[in-house]
Structure 1
Amino acid sequence: MKTTRLPAALAPWAGTLSAITPELAVAFGPLLHRLDALVGEREPVADLVGDPDGLGGLARSGRPDQLLASEWLLAEEYPEEFLRRLVDGELLHL
């Protein structure tokens, strides 16, 4: 008997798995669950608003003496891009 639909356990991946046969998708099921658990432990999904974690104390505003060295290098090498980032508030400060 052939499987024509995906099991409910594979529903989160239904769109991606639609490119292959349901039988092959079911065969990939255990692997998908293990990969999901592995990636989920290392890269947790968060629906937070605002700046991402891990910026290491960097901010988009501050005094000129707090600018990162890479921003000063940008000012020397690509002054137009530096000015654009300055106006748009994209420069990084410590």
Structure 2
Amino acid sequence: MLSIVDDLDWDDVENHLELLENKLNLYCVFVLEGQFYKEHPDAVGRPVMISVALLSIMPAEVQWFFTAAAVSVEKAGLQFEVQHLSKGNL
């Protein structure tokens, strides 16, 4: 599992989504180009999950982003999840 802990607030939605998109793309490339498996050879043949842990509740208007991200990540053969955490649960 690769985890992204998103501790940003949603004051600047556009910038926030851009940062998340860039990080998700980097994580996908890390797996799809084989670097993940070089560092974790025991993971070969096992499903890889990218998990995004949000520390701030996302506004409803950005749900589309996570739906689209899930479709893209899953089309690449990876698993995807989004969860909401409180800072006390880290």
**Would you say same fold, with TM above 0.5?**
no
TM-score (ref. length: structure 2): 0.27
Pick the structure with more helix per residue.
Answer: 1
Pick the structure with more strand per residue.
Answer: 2
* Bigger RCO of structures 1 and 2 (CA < 8 A, at least 6 apart): 2
